[in-house]
Amino acid sequence: MSVKGLFFAGGRPADLLIRGAHLLDPRAGLDGPGDVLVRDGEIAEIGAPGTLVAPEGAETVEAEGLHLFPGFVDPHVHFRTPGQEHKEDLATGTAAAAAGGFTAVVAMPNTAPVIDDAPILRSLRDAAEQQARIPVGFLAAITRRLGGDELTEMAELRDAGALGFTDDGRPVVSAGMLRKALQYQRLAGGVLGLHEEDPSLSNGCVMHEGAVSARLGLAGYPSVGESTIVARDAALALYEQGRMHFQHISAAESVEALAYWKGRGAQVTGEASPHHLTLTDEAVLSLDTRYKMNPPLRAESDRQALIAGLKDGTIDCIATDHAPHAKHEKEVPFEEAPNGVTGLETSFASIYSELVKPGIIPLSLLVEKLTSGAALFDLCTPKIEVGLPANLALVDLGASWVVGEHGYVSRSANSCFFGRRFDGVVRLTVAAGTVAHRAPAPNTTASGVTA
C-alpha cells in the first residue's frame, strides 16, 4: 500500500473505541479527556469521556489514565536494507518504530548498495509494501554512491517515490556540488537533507573535542566543524532559493547559524536527536561504545542550546537517527566501533523523562516536535481529527521501565540509554488505520524493556 510517498504492508482497518484517554494534540486544540472512535481505520468520532459507544464488532480500549497523542513521525532512521539486514530490516525497523509510537518514518539511503537510482528505490518500495508494519518513506542519495562528485538522477528518483535527497552519514563536501543539487531541486523537487560536517576538521575524530577528549586521548571533533558548514550551506540555500533540512544538529553554534539564516529568509529547517537533547560527552568517559555516534555527544552548553532551540522554534523537529548495529560490531574499543545508536523505542520516553517530567519543556511541545517532521518532507501531519486516517499513539505516562541490554523489537540493541529508568510506555500504536503495536498489559514485561 502507499499513502502519499509512504509505503507499507497494510492490514485490517481498525475498529476501536479508545475510551477515556487524555487526548493531547496541540494542532487539533485537544488537551483533555475524551473518547475516540476509530471506524474502518478512520477517526470517526471524538466525544466527551464516556459518551461514545462501541459499535458492533469494534474493540473497546479502556484508556483512562493514559494519554492519546497523534502518531509520531521520525524523519531520520536507518533500516539497513538492502545490504546490512543483520542489523535491521524493513520489518524489524518498522515494528520498532511502531513500538515507539511512530506511525511514519523516513529511511536514509546510505545502504549497500546506496539508494542512488530508481530501480533500487523501486525494489525497496516493493519490499516495504510486503514487510513494513507502518508507513515508511525513502530519501535517495544526492550524489552517486554518496561519492560527493556526481548528482543522482534526482528527477527520476522523485518519480520513483523519493521524498527528498540526502548523503546522510557523510556531508556534501563540495559547496559547488551542493549548489548544483539546489539548482536541480527546482526541477526535481524534494527537500535536501544534510549531514553537516567539515571532514578537514573531523577526519579521524571519534568524539566531541573538549576536556573529555583531552582526558581520554581520543581525537576530538570540534563543534565548529559542524556549524561552519551549516552556515555555508544555509547561505547557499538562500542564494539558490532552495529547501534544505539540517539533520541531527549537535552544536550550539549550529543552532545559532540556523536561527540567523532562518531570520534572513532561507528555507532551512533543523532536527535534533533525543540523545543530543539528553546526554553529553561526559558519558563517553566510560569509553562505552554505546555512546559513540556522529555527530558526537557534545557539551552541556550545546545540549542547553538544542533545548532552547526546540523551545524557540529554531529546531523544527525531533528525529532519532535510529542507527542499529549488531552486538559484536560494538564490542570493540571505542575508536574502532561504528557510529550510531538505536532510538525508535526510547525516543518518547527518553525526552519525556529527561525534559518534560522535570519541567524543562511542556508535554505539548514534545508531541509537536515528534510530529512536525512530517511537514518538512511534505507528508501529512498526523492529527486527532474526525475524518482523518487513524495515526495514534496511546501512552502510559505513569508506567516506568529500565532500558534493557536486549529484548528490543529492533534487531539491534545499541541503545545509549541502557540502564536508565524512564517513564512512558507506548501501549498501542495505530498507524494509517491499522493496529501496528500493542504492548502487553501493565505489570508484565513490555517489549524492549525490563520492568
Partner 1 sequence: MRHLLSIDDLDREGIERVLDRAASFAEVAGREIKKVPALRGRTVVNLFYEASTRTSSSFELAAKRLSADLVSIRAATSAVAKGESLKDTIATLTAYDPAAIVIRSPHAGAAKLVAGWSDAAVVNAGDGKHEHPTQALLDVFTLRQRLGSLDGVKIWIVGDVLHSRVARSDILAFTRMGANVTLSGPPTLIPRGIEALGCDVEPTLERLPEADVVYVLRMQHERMSEAYVPSLREYAMRYQIGLDRLRPEQLLMHPGPVNRGVELSGDAIDSPQALIGQQVEAGVVVRMAVLYELLAGAGAARVLPTRMEVAA
Residues interacting with partner 1, by CB under 8 A?
204, 209-218, 220, 222, 287, 328, 331-336
How far is residue 329's CA from residue 371's CA, in Å, rounded to a whole number? Answer: 32
CB nearer to partner 1: give 204 or 387: 204
CB nearer to partner 1: give 337 or 392: 337
CB nearer to partner 1: give 53 or 214: 214
Nearest distance from residue 345's CB to partner 1, in Å? Answer: 25
Instruction: Provide DSSP, 288-353.
Output: -GGG--SSPP--HHHHHHHHHHHHHTSS-EE---B----HHHHSS-GGGSPS-B--TTTHHHHHII
Q: Which residues contact 56 (CB under 8 A, 6 or more apart)?
A: none
Extract the C-alpha cell encoding 119. 530501480
- Catalytic residues, which ones? 321
Nearest distance from residue 204's CB to partner 1, in Å? Answer: 6
Extract the C-alpha cell encoding 416. 545509549
How far is residue 412's CA from residue 398's CA, in Å, rounded to a whole number? Answer: 27
CB nearer to partner 1: give 40 or 331: 331
DSSP designation for 376: H
Nearest distance from residue 427's CB to partner 1, in Å? Answer: 36
Longest dimension (CA), the chain: 66
How far is residue 316's CA from residue 212's CA, in Å, rounded to a whole number? Answer: 30
How far is residue 177's CA from residue 175's CA, in Å, rounded to a whole number? Answer: 5
Spell out the SS3 assignment of 235-284.
HHHHHHCCEEEECCCCCHHHHHHHHHHHHCCCEEEEEECHHHHHCCHHHH
Extract the C-alpha cell encoding 210. 573538549
Mode of pairing for the β-strands spanning 67-70 and 434-438: unpaired
CB nearer to partner 1: give 42 or 335: 335
Nearest distance from residue 255's CB to partner 1, in Å? Answer: 21
CB nearer to partner 1: give 57 or 204: 204
Q: Are 137 and 4 contacting, i.e. CB atoms less than 8 angstroms apart?
A: no
Q: Are 25 and 36 contacting, i.e. CB atoms less than 8 angstroms apart?
A: no
CB nearer to partner 1: give 151 or 287: 287
Extract the C-alpha cell encoding 360. 524543562
Nearest distance from residue 207's CB to partner 1, in Å? Answer: 10
CB nearer to partner 1: give 219 or 308: 219
Q: Which H or E run contains 38? A: strand 30-39
338 upstream amide cis, omega within 30 of 0? no
Paired strand residues for 77: 107, 322
Nearest distance from residue 334's CB to partner 1, in Å? Answer: 5
Nearest distance from residue 221's CB to partner 1, in Å? Answer: 11
Q: Which residues contact 217 (CB under 8 A, 6 or more apart)?
A: none
> What phi, psi does 395 have (nearest 5°)?
-125, 135
Q: Under DSSP, is residue 427 helix (H, G, I), strand (E, B) or coil?
A: strand
CB nearer to partner 1: give 48 or 285: 285
Nearest distance from residue 217's CB to partner 1, in Å? Answer: 3
**For helices 224-240 and 175-188, angle between their N-to-C axes, nearest 10 degrees:** 40
Nearest distance from residue 413's CB to partner 1, in Å? Answer: 16
Extract the C-alpha cell encoding 208. 566531541
